[in-house]
Amino acid sequence: MFDKFYGFDADKMSEMFKTADFSKFFETAKMPAFDMKAVADAQKKNMEALVEANKAAAAGYQEIFKRQVAMFEENVAAVQAQFSDLKMEQPTPETFKAQVEQMKAGYEKSLASLTELTDTAKKANTEAFEILKARIEASIEELNALAAKAE
């Protein structure tokens, strides 16, 4: 619809990106003392690093999700056990104390679980960050090497 007005054809534009080797796109763009193949290779490495970082993050978050499901199941089982032990009679100091201890144990377990989930998320994010950081550092070195060649 818009191509009638603006002369833009999205299908034609997308054909440019359907090549098996993206570096072929740069072959026609010749610039003096500038290695377009090296730029394309660097971009390929950048994309590979992004994919690896995303895989690392996804694996970590998948682990968090699995652990959350397990924690939920454990909590449901604990609550069911508490209700099965609950008697509908006048509480005695001993039963009250036992309930307080159960609540305290539940709180401590929840706190430990949250700490575990936080540590897992931190690990996943750190791993993804380290992958990207290493690629950025390598990319800077590659650009410096290209600039040195151009001089």
Q: Which of 108, 104, 118 is nearest to 67 (CA)?
A: 118
CA distance 62 to 117: 11
Predicted confidence (pLDDT) per residue in 117-136, tens digit: 999 999 999 999 999 999 99
Q: Which of 53, 55, 21, 56 is nearest to 40 (CA)?
A: 21
Please state, in angstroms and as integers, the Cα–Cα distance from residue 30 to each residue in 13, 36, 140, following that order.
20, 7, 22
| pLDDT above 60 (res 22) | no
Predicted confidence (pLDDT) per residue in 92-124, tens digit: 888 778 878 888 888 888 889 889 999 999 999
Q: How far is CA 69 from the centre of its chain?
A: 19
| pLDDT above 90 (res 33) | no
Domain boundaries, the chain: 46-150
The burial of 128, by beta-carbon neighbours within 10 Å (0-12 exposed, 13-18 middle, 19 or more buried), is given as buried
| pLDDT above 50 (res 144) | yes
Give the per-residue pLDDT at 27: 59
Q: How far apart are the first and last CA of the chain?
A: 48
Give the per-residue pLDDT at 42: 83
